[in-house]
Structure 1
């Protein structure tokens, strides 16, 4: 049988559901696909997505450590930057920078110190 990896879904640690939803849904434009708790007072585990990007957010202390760094290849970094900066989110003002690995990169840090690096390749003719 051939080995084939199909998808990677990062699990990011969160500590406050309302702050997580404000950041990932209201600010970054993700949709909540589903939420799960083993019982009403148990920690939340949920999936958010935007386009082809899927993230799992977890309050469970054994699922992940805060301060993760997720590297994301995409197209439209400058459009995403314009979209989110227009929202005026009080806690972060990201910029788009050219990297040494020939991409445009916008880094955002969530309220739990997890970093998302949105990267778009710069083609050889200088266009993205």
Structure 2
């Protein structure tokens, strides 16, 4: 088995770039369009996390969700907070299943949960 690449539906390229590139700090890897007025399909990445964003009908449904295991959740949260993104001010939640989670909602209703083990293990 290889890497899994989620596909999120998007409806506004500029909003998608503002959120994924500007706010989250993803890198734009490539864009593809069959003709100038056709839907855009693009790949963005953040470290080893790769996400495809698509304007194509049938590629993903708004409201999809992914969970991304990460280290350095506090640093990531501080970096996001410093950007003062006007549409989102997420916090870190301690869950009862011993994870710390930073839950984000993109402009199209897709959810990304960045999580790490909380380190609170019972003896």
Structure 1 partner of 2:107:
111
**Which of residues 56, 66, 70 in structure 2 aligns to 1:74?**
70
Which consecutive unaligned segments of at least 5 residues does structure 1 have?
A: none
Which consecutive unaligned segments of at least 5 residues does structure 2 have?
A: none
Structure 2 partner of 1:122:
118
Structure 2 partner of 1:98:
94
The alignment status of 1:85 with 2:81, answered yes or no, reads: yes
The answer to whether the 8 A contact 2:98-2:121 is kept is: no
The alignment status of 1:59 with 2:92, answered yes or no, reads: no
| Distance of 2:95 and 2:67 partners within structure 1 | 13
Compute the TM-score of the two structures, normalised by the length of structure 2.
Answer: 0.95
Give the root-mean-square deviation of aligned CA atoms. 1.2
The alignment status of 1:9 with 2:5, answered yes or no, reads: yes
